[in-house]
Amino acid sequence: MLGREECEPHSQPWQVALFERGRFNWGASFISALWVRSATHCQTCFMRVSLAEHNLRKRGGPKQLRTGACVIPHPRYEARSHRRDVMLPRLTRPACLSLQARPVALAAHTLPQRGEACVVSGKGLVSDDKPETKGSPESQVSHNTLHCANISVTPATSYNKDYPGRLMASMVCVGVQGGGPDSCEGDSGEPLVCGRVLQGIVSWGDVPCDTTTKPGVYTKVCSYLEWIKESMKRN
């Protein structure tokens, strides 16, 4: 994630890390004792789920490890357009609620007012800010600790020129016009939280992320609230 700093430990108690074969791959959000929520393009056959984990390299502490018993992707997900980029991994056993592991409320209505501050958190790639290496693989560094960035929601119509014909009503652009803090590779599925309410899911954007001035694009949670509730009820 570009332009971010390390989060205060456990200040984002809904943060979840998804692992495949022992390697951190994606982020997600804790939405109930048995359920987390991520992006469909993060789907895998087997995953380990870690809650209340601030530092990937630190052993012990309040973190909880679970296995994803089943993964429910949106049945109409479109990989090409990124439509309906949302999935629900179900845990094999309930998580224990604590100060460090708490569900986040799901957005039931439209997004906050333009310019309202939100937080996106994750462990994805960032730029080392060296001009001579921007855009190269060496300029990207993955953090072991959770990092946060304060960014603003912007109406999708403001960025139609950046992504002509690609922005849908179920998506939201988040970032700063002209460049600034934003999500990056490795942040897929991470939460966008505004006023302690889950508003978005990191979905897609322009690459390489450390050189583009285009904003990241997020799945709009309120567009899928009914599907999320029905899927949790049925499973």
Q: Which of 139, 170, 183, 188 is catalytic?
A: 188
CA nearest neighbour of 173 among 222, 215, 115, 120: 215
With vertex at residue 17, the alpha carbon angle to CA 14 and CA 54, rounded to the nearest 5 degrees, is: 70
Q: Is the peptide bond before 208 cis (omega within 30 degrees of 0)?
A: yes
Q: How large is the C-alpha radius of gyration of the chain?
A: 17
Query: Is 85 part of the annotated catalytic residue set?
Result: yes
d(CA 12, CA 191) in angstroms, rounded, equals 10
Residues whose CB falls within 8 Å of the CB of residue 134, separated by 6 or more in sequence, listed in order: 127, 210, 211
Q: Which of 32, 41, 50, 136 is catalytic?
A: 41
Residue position matching structure tokens 């997004």: 111
C-alpha torsion 59→62→67→73, nearest 10: -120
Query: Is 183 part of the annotated catalytic residue set?
Result: no
Q: Which of 74, 82, 85, 162 is catalytic?
A: 85
d(CA 68, CA 90) in angstroms, rounded, equals 5
Query: Is 188 part of the annotated catalytic residue set?
Result: yes
- Which residues carry out catalysis? 41, 85, 188
